[in-house]
Amino acid sequence: MKQGVIIGFLGKTQDRFSEYQQPATTREKLEIVSKIDGFDGVEMVYPYENSTPEETMALMKEFDLNFAAINVNIKKEAEWVAGALTRPDKGIRDRAVAMIKKAKDFAKAVGAPHVTCCPLSDGYDLLFQVNYRDSWKYIIETVGEAADYLPEVPLFIEPKYSETRVHCQLDSTAKALLLLKEVGNPNTGITLDFGHSLQSAENPAQSLITIYESGFDAYIHTNDNDTKYDWDLIGASRHFLHYVELMFWAQQCKYDKYFTTDASPRIFNILDFFNRHSEVTIGAYNLAKTLNHQRVLEMMKNEDFNGLMKFVNKNIYRI
Ligand SMILES: [Mn+2]
């Protein structure tokens, strides 16, 4: 398995109440990635963490790292904090689409496998706030246009239930899949964020299979939370069995992209936090690999529920 990290978490972060850690340059962030056990993948936020493609590639080479993805940010600029892809103002939507296209150009120039976009600011805070009919129509149009551009760089869309909007437009894996079905471009996929999936009251493993069985590609972000809020906790700290089950089904699907860490160290030491995350993620992956997949599938087919419970107790919980 391959592991990487969204490098924004390797510098200063903040919430409404506090600031955490110290600011870091992209070079300093990449140096930290190279020190995390088992990590060599980088998800870089475009356009805020990169310089020119040439300079960026030189830095990646210096630390012997690879791109997991380019993450295009269409929520930070002042005109997008209230939404980007679904806004009534066509100029605002067009500039968001243009940013995704520029991210695709950058991804192609540096050899990144795909662009991922989480349209967090699109949605609503209040009822009677947005025209749902227009919002849905606009997001199909805007994502469709962005997907059509430079099809050799696939566009992955990441759903999330809440934050920064109280209710995000793409509030579940199913809603994002419906969008991709409407868009109808084969060069698209879903970024399945373990914690986002939990917050949407999903089971991440089932969502992964739903993505693949719907005919789309999948890219995985790892973390954990308490299901109420996207806390970006260290992987498997709250949902160990869900984590192992996701690994089991990722192996069933022959998933070979990066498992990219979308977790925030906040009050913990950065290097320790990501080393523990790496350890538990590779541990869960290897544990899933030791399971007799054929036997599990056969027990499911035969509805041997008692056998499955026993199998989980013995082979996963080891009790
Ligand atoms: Mn994520």
35-70, pLDDT tens digit by residue?
Answer: 999 999 999 999 999 999 999 999 999 999 999 999
Counts for the chain of helices (H) and strands (E), in that order:
11, 12
Whether 300 is in a domain gets the answer no
Pick from 76, 79, 71: nearest CA to 114: 71
CA of 304 to the centre of ligand 1 (A): 35
| pLDDT for position 218 | 98
Is the omega angle on the peptide bond into residue 142 within 30 degrees of 0, that is, cis?
A: no
Burial of residue 256 (CB within 10 Å: 0-12, 13-18, 19+) is exposed
Burial of residue 288 (CB within 10 Å: 0-12, 13-18, 19+) is buried
CA of 72 to the centre of ligand 1 (A): 12
Distance in angstroms (rounded) separating the CA atoms of residues 171 and 196: 9
CA of 24 to the centre of ligand 1 (A): 21
CA of 306 to the centre of ligand 1 (A): 35
Q: Decide: 288 and 315 in contact? Cβ < 8 Å.
A: no
CA of 313 to the centre of ligand 1 (A): 30
Whether 314 is in a domain gets the answer no
Give 233's DSSP letter: B
Is the omega angle on the peptide bond into residue 159 within 30 degrees of 0, that is, cis?
A: no
CA of 16 to the centre of ligand 1 (A): 19
What are residue 125's DSSP bridge partners? none
What are residue 14's DSSP bridge partners? 19
Whether 316 is in a domain gets the answer no
CA of 51 to the centre of ligand 1 (A): 23
Instruction: Read off the tokens for 137.
Output: 């129509």
CA of 193 to the centre of ligand 1 (A): 5
Reported confidence tier of residue 269, pLDDT bands at 50, 70, 90? very high
197: left (phi over 0), alpha (psi -120 to 50) or beta: alpha
CA of 158 to the centre of ligand 1 (A): 7
| pLDDT for position 219 | 99
CA of 69 to the centre of ligand 1 (A): 12
| CATH value at residue 69 | 3.20.20.150
* Enclosing domain of residue 10: 2-291
Give the rounded distance of the alpha carbon of 63 from its chain centre: 23
CA of 161 to the centre of ligand 1 (A): 12
Whether 119 is in a domain gets the answer yes
Give 234's DSSP letter: P
CA of 148 to the centre of ligand 1 (A): 23
Distance in angstroms (rounded) separating the CA atoms of residues 168 and 175: 11
pLDDT in tens, 159-190: 999 999 999 999 999 999 999 999 999 999 99
CA of 227 to the centre of ligand 1 (A): 14
Instruction: Read off the tokens for 190.
Output: 């879903």
Whether 174 is in a domain gets the answer yes
CA of 261 to the centre of ligand 1 (A): 8
Whether 315 is in a domain gets the answer no
Residue 2, C-beta contacts closer than 8 angstroms, at least 6 positions apart: 40, 41, 68, 256, 257, 258, 259
Distance in angstroms (rounded) separating the CA atoms of residues 250 and 236: 16
pLDDT in tens, 62-103: 999 999 999 999 999 999 999 999 999 999 999 999 999 999
CA of 292 to the centre of ligand 1 (A): 30
Task: Determine the average pLDDT of the residues in 249-273.
Answer: 98
| pLDDT for position 153 | 98
Q: Decide: 121 and 166 in contact? Cβ < 8 Å.
A: no
Structural domains counted in the chain: 1
CA of 208 to the centre of ligand 1 (A): 14
Whether 38 is in a domain gets the answer yes
CA of 221 to the centre of ligand 1 (A): 5
CA of 4 to the centre of ligand 1 (A): 12
Q: Decide: 30 and 64 in contact? Cβ < 8 Å.
A: no
Whether 307 is in a domain gets the answer no
CA of 273 to the centre of ligand 1 (A): 17
pTM of the model: 0.98
Cα angle 240-30-50, degrees, rounded to a multiple of 5: 110
Packing angle of the helix pair 204-213, 240-252 (nearest 10 deg): 20
Q: Please tell me the total number of residues recorded for the chain in this structure.
A: 319
